[in-house]
Structure 1
C-alpha cells in the first residue's frame, strides 16, 4: 500500500506523468491504465455490492473518490483517472440515463431528430462529479497526476441519438447524413457542455484531461473531419484559452491511418493510441516531440507470461525516443489477474 500525502503546487516536478504530457521524456515511463478503477479489483466489487448500481456510484462523491483511489493504493500508478462515465454529459443535458444489468447504458428519449428542445438540462449533475475530484485530490499522493475526462462529442452523440450503444453507430451516422443541420446543433450542445464540464473538473483540481472518442473509427473521411476533428479542435482551443497550461490527451479509438491527421488538426497535447495501431508506424507517422500514450493490448495483460513480456517490450522499444506514457490500447478487462498487473509494473519499473 502507498501512503497518501497532500497535493501541492510544489509537487509538480514529482509528477512524472504530468512532465511527460508537457513534453519531457522519462525513463521508466509513467504508467496508468484505462479503467484501472473497476471490476477486476475485489475492493471495487465489494464497494459496488454495498452501494448499489454503477450510476449510483458515479453520483456518490465519497464512493466515487474511494474507487478512484483504490488502484493508486494498490499499485501506485502515476495517474489517477476520475471514476465516472462519459454519459454524465447527456444526463446533464436532460436525457434520462440508466444502466441495464449486462446490457449497458440506456438514454431516453432517443435524440433521433437531433433536437434537445424537449429536454430540461440539469448541470448540477456536473457539480457532483467536481466534488468527487475535490475529495480525490485531497488524498492523492504528491507524485500522482489527477486525470479528468469526458467523451468526445461524436461518441457521446452516438449514444444520445440511438438511446444506447450500437455496433455500427448507424442511427447517428444516418442522422448526420440525413439532417446535418440538426446533428450539428446536437454536436454544438455537447461541445459547449463538455467545455464547461472540463473547466469544472480542472477548477476542482484535475491536472490533465482526456477525451475519449471510442467510436471515432466508424466514420467516412469527410464525416470524420466534420464530427470528430472539428468538435475536438473546438474543445482543445477553448480549454487552452480558458484553462491554459492543463495538458489534454485525445484518445480516438479505431481511426488507423487517420491518426496523423487527428494529431495535426485537433491540437491535443498528447495522443492515446489503441492496440490495433502498429506502435512503430505511429512513432514514425506522428510529430517527433508529440507525447504518446499506449498501446498494450488489454488481452496481452490478461494472458500474462511471455506474451505479456514481449508485448510490453515491443511498445517500449517503439516509443524509446519520444515522451511516452505507458497504458493499454483500451480499458483493462474485468478478468485481468491482479498478478499480471503487478508483473507489468515490475517490468516497467526495473
Structure 2
C-alpha cells in the first residue's frame, strides 16, 4: 500500500490544509551536526563525493525538524565538473572552475560523467532510510546560472562575463547552453532512476537578464529540460525557481511549463497569487532574514504568506537559502507556526 506524501501531493496540484514544508539549504552550516561532520571530512567537495556522509547530511534536518521534504545534499556545479572542468572550493570565497569558458572552448573539455556516480549513490542511501511519507527532492542548476560560473570560473558581479559573451558570440553561448541542457537532462534522469520523487531547477541568477535574454537563456533552456525530462518521467514533478525574475514570473511559468513555481523573498505573495495561473502550485517565500529575526517579524511574515496562498496548492519554504547564522530555535518556531498557526 502506498503512503501519501503531502509535499508530493501539492506538487501534483492537491491543496493541503496545512502546507507541507522544507527549506532551501536546510542541510548546511546552521546545523551543529553538519559542522561537526564537515570538520571531520574536510572540504565541501570531499563531503559531496562521500556518499554515506552526504546521505547523512541530507537526513540531518529531517531528523531534527521533521520537514516534509528532504533535498539531496550536493552542489549545482557538479554539472560543469562532469562536463570536464576542474572544480574546487576556496575557503571563505566559494567555488572555482577551470579552465574558464572565456579562455577555453567547450570542445576542449573532456566529459567525465562518472563524477556524478557518488550523487546517485547518495540518493540510493537516502531513499533506503527516508520515511515513506517524506518527499525526496533532487535538483540541478538551470543552464543560465551554470553557464555564468563556467564562463567566469567563479561567481561574478552581475554575471557580466557571461552576459558579455552571450551578446558578443551568441552562437558559442548557445552551444554552451545546449551542452548544459543535455548533461542536465541525463543527470536528472539518473537522480529519478536512483530514487528522488521530484526535481527543483535552481536559476539563481535569472534576475540579471534583460527580457529578451531572459526568454532566450532562461525560459527556452529550462523548457527544453522540462520537455525532455517529462518525456522520460511523466509522473515526476518539476519545480522551477527563477530567483529575481519578478515581473517575468508569469512568462516563466507559461514558457517553461514547470509543475510548480518557487518564489523568492522579493515577490509579493498576494501579487503572485493574482498573476499566476489558477491552481499552479507555488513554493515559498519567507525572507531568510525574517527567520533570523524570529518573534513578531517571523509570525507576521508567515501569516501573510499563508493568507496569500490559502486558495492554491502551496509548499511553505524560504525565498532563498537558509543562512549560516540562523538560530535553531527560530527554525523550530517556524515549524510550529506553519503547522499549528501559533
Does the alignment reach a TM-score above 0.5? yes
Structure 1 position 107, deviation (Å): 0.3
Deviations 1:72-108 (A, max 9, x none): 0000100000000000000000000000001000000
- 37-46 or 110-119, which moves further after superposition? 110-119
Corresponding position of 1:34: 24
CA–CA distance in 1 between the matches of 2:82 and 2:286? 33
SS of residue in 1 equivalent to 2:108: coil
Query: Which of the numbers 179, 183, 193 marks the counterpart of 2:183?
Result: 193
1:75 to 2:62 alignment:
no
Corresponding position of 1:6: none
Corresponding position of 1:105: 95
Unmatched tracts of structure 1, length 5 or more: 1-8
Deviations 1:195-220 (A, max 9, x none): 00000000000000000000000001
Corresponding position of 1:125: 115
Query: Which of the numbers 152, 159, 162 marks the counterpart of 2:149?
Result: 159
Alignment of 1:93-242 (within 5 A): 93-112=83-102, 115-242=105-232
Structure 1 position 340, deviation (Å): 0.3
Corresponding position of 1:319: 309
Corresponding position of 1:260: 250
Contact kept in structure 2, 1:127 and 1:200, CA below 8 Å: no
Contact kept in structure 2, 1:115 and 1:185, CA below 8 Å: no
Query: Which of the numbers 2, 19, 27 marks the counterpart of 1:10?
Result: 2
- 120-129 or 270-279, which moves further after superposition? 120-129
Alignment of 1:236-315 (within 5 A): 236-315=226-305
- TM-score, reference length from structure 1: 0.96
CA–CA distance in 2 between the matches of 1:127 and 1:247? 23
CA–CA distance in 1 between the matches of 2:328 and 2:27? 12
Contact kept in structure 2, 1:216 and 1:224, CA below 8 Å: yes
- TM-score, reference length from structure 2: 0.98
Corresponding position of 1:50: 40
Runs of 4+ deviating beyond 6 Å: none
Structure 1 position 114, deviation (Å): 7.1
CA–CA distance in 1 between the matches of 2:330 and 2:210? 38
CA–CA distance in 1 between the matches of 2:107 and 2:252? 32
Structure 1 position 115, deviation (Å): 2.5
